[in-house]
Amino acid sequence: MKTYKIAAFAALLLSSPFLSVASDDLAKEEQKVQSIITMPININQASIEQLVLLKGVGKKKARAIINYREANGKFYSADDLSNVKGISDKTVEANRTIIAL
């Protein structure tokens, strides 16, 4: 009988409307993150925090992009990004749709 009560309580808890609200909130937050990631990132003006949103770019590579930009001037094409040490053509291709100049 005790096991039945625990199972019934668990079923009630799992079907709670509070969980559906939480999952709705989670879905909305995920959608916000996806829209941020798909926003264009201007590699000539982006901060480290913005550059790390690019696929395959962490803080170290973001710092390298900024250092390259400061030393050599602005990027004229997305392909110029591959001149930065640690940024491969594959990384450029993975981000081509969100790179802005």
User: According to the model, what pLDDT value does residue 26 have?
Assistant: 72
User: According to the model, what pLDDT value does residue 24 have?
Assistant: 74
Q: In terms of domains, do 27 and 65 share one? A: no
Q: In terms of domains, do 24 and 45 share one? A: no
Our count of domains for the chain comes to: 2
Q: Domain range holding 17?
A: 1-38
Cβ atoms < 10 Å from Cβ of 41? 20
CA 58-59-63 angle, 5° bins: 120
- Which regions in the chain score pLDDT beneath 50? none
Reduced DSSP (H G I as helix, E B as strand, rest coil) percent helix, strand, coil of the chain, to 5: 65, 5, 30
CATH number at residue 66: 1.10.150.280
Q: In terms of domains, do 82 and 62 share one? A: yes
Q: In terms of domains, do 62 and 89 share one? A: yes
Q: In terms of domains, do 34 and 59 share one? A: no
